[in-house]
Structures are given as C-alpha cells and as structure tokens.
C-alpha cells in the first residue's frame, strides 16, 4: 500500500512500560518487544511518520515508590529515568531491523540522549526516522499520557494511538464485568463525563482542546497498527 492511500500520515504512539514486559515478570520481554517493534516498522515502511512516547511502569512508578516511603516527587523523577531506559531498549530493537530511530528526552541526561527539540523532531519524522520521546513532560505529578498528548500536538500528529491490553474503551471494566460494552467510537466529552479511565483525563482534555483524535487499541492484536493506519475500525476512536 502506498503512502498516499494511508488514512493517517503522522501518528504518535503511546506505549506503556508494561507493554514491553508482556505477560512475563521481566521488565523487558524480548518476544513482546520484538512483536511491538515489528508492528512499528511495518507501518513506518508504509510511509507513516511515527513518534513514540514510552512509559516506565515496567521498571518504576512514582505512586508505587511513594508507598514504600520514597518522596512522590523523587519517585516520579525515578520514573522519568525509567522511561529513558525503555527508550534506549526500544531504539536498539528498532535499529536492529535497519530502521533509523532517534530518542529525545524532556530532561537532560548528558551524552546518552539529546534534549527534545520540536523542529528537529519534525525534521527527523519527515526523513522517515522513528522518533522516541522519553522523560515524560519532564515534570513530576504528570503522567506519560499527558506527555503523549503534548508531543502529539507539538509534532502535528494526525492521530494519537493509545496502546492497551484490552480491545478498546468499555462501558465498565471488562475484566470485572462480562456485560461490559465495547465502544467503537466516543466523543471526548463522553469519555470525560463518564471518566472512562483508559487514559489520563488531563490528556483527554488536551486532545479535545486541540482536536487530536485518540485511537485506543489492544497492542497484542496482530497487525493492529497497520489496520488502524489503513482505516479499519479497530478498538475505540475518541474524537
């Protein structure tokens, strides 16, 4: 399929850290990492410009660290560093498939990863590089979902792809309620009013304010990114 036939030309993929651990107890599951990277490269090779915001929950979470006595601000800073570790792993996995990937961080980490620069990120995307945004927003008490909405708006993405472990947004938690209804499409306002907690409500609000649609989908579904890019109705579209 050629790039002119694609429904979306530039996307921002939000990956949780937990997505990289798959169903294992390891921080990084090589099988899951390979599967995710394969999906990313498939759509990138179709001509889609791909930016990625990566979480760090497979390594550390500020809220969890707070429960064991670590200051919440410090815990969130540890979580930001965890996203950089994941970004390095993700970049190397992409590069092993002969696809160029660049990391940009919202926090300075010396010679390891350069700081985020909006115009440079857009230039990289136009060159066909996969760009990985690490460090969240650089601020504590702000989720990486909010980093995804922010970066998606900054790079002018056509769609924010929110990867989850369920098939989309449901009326109730499908793991607890067998009668939960899967929504194929939702308005931003309904998602906010009903607090359908698949994504940070602040990120939902930001996407609404800047008219960035969100596609919520199951990352474990095969060829899911390609299907969405080609306009197939997979998961839940919030617009």
Q: What is the pLDDT of residues 162-176, one digit of tens each?
A: 998 889 998 888 888
Q: What whole-number distance in Å separates Cα of residue 141 and Cα of residue 225? A: 30
- Taken as a whole, the chain contains a residue count of 239
3 has a pLDDT exceeding 80: no
pTM, 2 dp: 0.94
Q: What whole-number distance in Å separates Cα of residue 49 and Cα of residue 209? A: 23
Neighbours of 70 (CB within 10 A): 16
Domains of the chain: 3-238 (3.40.1160.10)
Quickly state the pLDDT bin for 1 (edges 50, 70, 90).
Answer: very low
126-142: pLDDT as tens digits = 999 999 999 999 999 99
Q: What is the mean pLDDT of residues 61-85?
A: 92
Helix residue spans in the chain (DSSP H): 17-21, 30-45, 62-67, 72-95, 118-126, 144-154, 188-193, 201-209, 224-229
Helix residue spans in 46-186 (DSSP H): 62-67, 72-95, 118-126, 144-154
Start-to-end C-alpha separation, the chain: 26
């Amino acid at each position: 399929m050629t790039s002119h036939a694609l429904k979306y030309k530039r996307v921002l993929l939000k990956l949780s850290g937990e997505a990289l651990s798959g169903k294992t107890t390891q921080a990084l599951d090589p099988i899951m990492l390979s599967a995710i990277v394969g999906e990313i490269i498939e759509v990138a090779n179709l001509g889609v410009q791909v930016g990625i915001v990566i979480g760090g929950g497979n390594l550390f979470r500020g809220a969890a660290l707070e429960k064991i006595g670590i200051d919440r601000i410090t815990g969130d800073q540890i979580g930001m560093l965890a996203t950089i570790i994941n970004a390095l792993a993700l970049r190397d996995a992409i590069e092993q498939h002969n696809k160029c990937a660049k990391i940009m961080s919202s926090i300075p980490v010396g010679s390891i990863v350069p700081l985020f620069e909006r115009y440079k990120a857009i230039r990289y995307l136009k060159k066909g590089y996969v760009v990985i945004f690490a460090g969240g927003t650089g601020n504590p008490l702000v989720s990486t979902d909010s980093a995804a909405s922010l970066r998606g708006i900054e790079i002018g993405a056509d769609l924010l792809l929110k990867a989850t472990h369920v098939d989309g947004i449901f009326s109730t938690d499908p793991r607890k309620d067998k009668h939960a209804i899967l929504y194929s499409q939702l308005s931003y306002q309904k998602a906010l009013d009903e607090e359908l907690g698949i994504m940070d409500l602040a990120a939902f609000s930001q996407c609404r304010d800047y008219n960035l649609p969100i596609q919520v989908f199951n990352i474990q579904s095969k060829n899911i990114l390609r299907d969405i890019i080609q306009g197939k109705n997979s998961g839940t579209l919030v617009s």
